[in-house]
Structure 1
Amino acid sequence: MRVLFVENDMRLCEAFRDLAISLGHVADVAYDGHQALLLAREHCYDTIFLDIGLPDVDGRELCRQLRAAGASKLACVVAVTGDERHVREQSEHFDGAFLKPLTEEGFKAALGAC
């Protein structure tokens, strides 16, 4: 499975990537919305883990843009946030939502839900 992690905290993003790789997946990272859009247009991701609070774009808007066009428009998009309200009030744009930090069990559950 090919996954993309979009998270502006570089250490957290790289930890997500390393977890996915350790479980046998191909994983890429993006630290902002612009980079995420470029990668998602170039590669066909099965699942995209998306931080809602990015510095350059709201995660809900980025989700809408990801679904509008490109190679990854059919990807399962999972919101990952530090704000519990976003998990409870999941936008119609996302296929799921998880609270940070995303554990190995949470990661596996997110992949299984997609």
Structure 2
Amino acid sequence: MRVLFVENDTRLCEAFRDLAISLGDVADVAYDGHQAMLLIGKKRYETIFLDVGLPDVDGRDHCRHLRAAGPSKLACVVAVTGDARHLHEQPDHFDGAFLKPLTA
């Protein structure tokens, strides 16, 4: 499976990527919305973990944009947020959500 992690916390993003690779997935990372859109425009991702609070774009708007067109428009998009309010406001365009910090 090809997975994209979009997260401005570089250490967390790289940890997600390393975990996905250890499970046998192909994983890419983007640290902001601009990088993410460049990758999403070129590659088809089956799953995208998308930080809602990116520094350059609102993750909810970003999700609507990627769902509108392109090779990843049918991807499973999971919101990742540090704000619990976003879990209750989860728009229909996200397929799921995780609250940071992630714990076992």
Q: TM-score, normalised by structure 2?
A: 0.94
Secondary structure in structure 2 of the residue aligned to 1:3? strand
The question of whether the paired residues in 2 share the 8 Å contact of 1:80 and 1:102 is answered with no
1:16-95 pair list within 5 angstroms? 16-95=16-95
User: What percent of counterpart residues are identical?
Assistant: 81
Aligned length: 104
CA distance in 1, matches of 2:102, 2:68: 27
1:94-113 pair list within 5 angstroms? 94-102=94-102
**56-65 or 93-102, larger mean C-alpha shift:** 93-102
Question: 4+ residue stretches of structure 1 with deviation over 4 A?
Answer: none
CA distance in 2, matches of 1:41, 1:88: 29
- 5+ residue gaps, structure 1, are 106-114
Residue by residue over 1:23-64, the C-alpha shift from the partner in whole angstroms, topping out at 9 and shown as x without a partner, is 110000000111101101111000000000001000000001
Q: TM-score, normalised by structure 1?
A: 0.86
Given residue 53 of structure 2, which amino acid in structure 1 is its aligned partner?
A: G
Given residue 13 of structure 2, which amino acid in structure 1 is its aligned partner?
A: C
- 5+ residue gaps, structure 2, are none
